[in-house]
């Protein structure tokens, strides 16, 4: 049995039960989410484990990770602050918002704060163009959306995140 299956056997059984046996490859996305829940990224071993569980190649699993902005194959912060920067949001100040937010955190876009808590990323389309600047916070607990933001209100969100969860050493 592989490491992922040993750690999450019941959850994997529940996920696979939702799909016909001949279509178990359709479980790739919930399995990826499960695999990255603890560390906020999918390890190479977890890619291989998922591939084994659902009967596809690790390359096929990795292609899903590479395509979707909610899966990661590299370590980042405990919280990923994903700022929408597509054109409508940019017209409402998203680029300047993100630049100032990163400046206040002492990082550049794509980097993680020195305490290991926050990674700021640019993403395309969070479906709230009329409420930009906006961002979503992704963590092992799920997603939270924050709309009509200022740098100050975003920093308040980040301060609350830092107070509620201590960083874990990966």
The predicted structure's pLDDT at residue 170: 34
The CATH classification number of 79-164 equals: 3.40.30.10
**3-state SS track over 87-137:** HHHHHCCHHHHHHHHHHHHCCCCCCECCCCCEEEEEECCCCCHHHCCCEEE
On whether the CB atoms of residues 115 and 96 are closer than 8 A, the answer is: no
Residue 139 DSSP symbol: E
Residue 166 DSSP symbol: P
Give the residue extent of every domain in the chain: 3-67, 79-164
Which pTM does this prediction carry?
Answer: 0.78
The predicted structure's pLDDT at residue 165: 57
The predicted structure's pLDDT at residue 79: 94
Matching CATH number, 3-67, of 1.10.287.3510, 1.10.10.1590, 1.20.120.1200, 3.40.50.1010: 1.10.10.1590
The predicted structure's pLDDT at residue 169: 40
- Low-confidence residues of the chain: pLDDT under 50: 167-170
């Amino acid at each position: 049995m592989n490491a992922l299956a040993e750690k999450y056997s019941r959850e994997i059984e529940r996920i696979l039960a939702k799909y016909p046996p001949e279509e178990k490859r359709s479980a790739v996305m919930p399995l990826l989410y499960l695999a990255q829940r603890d560390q906020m990224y999918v390890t190479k071993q977890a890619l291989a484990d998922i591939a084994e569980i659902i009967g596809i190649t690790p390359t096929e699993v990795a292609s899903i990770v590479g395509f979707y902005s909610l899966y990661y194959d590299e370590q980042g912060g405990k919280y990923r602050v994903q700022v929408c920067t597509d054109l409508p949001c940019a017209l409402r100040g998203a680029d300047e918002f993100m630049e100032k937010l990163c400046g206040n955190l002492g990082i550049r876009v794509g980097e993680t704060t020195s305490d290991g808590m926050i990674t700021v990323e640019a993403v395309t389309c969070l479906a709230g163009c009329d409420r930009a600047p906006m961002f979503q916070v992704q963590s092992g607990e799920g997603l939270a959306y924050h709309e009509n933001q200022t740098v100050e209100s975003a920093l308040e969100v980040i301060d609350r995140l830092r107070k509620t969860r201590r960083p874990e050493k990966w």
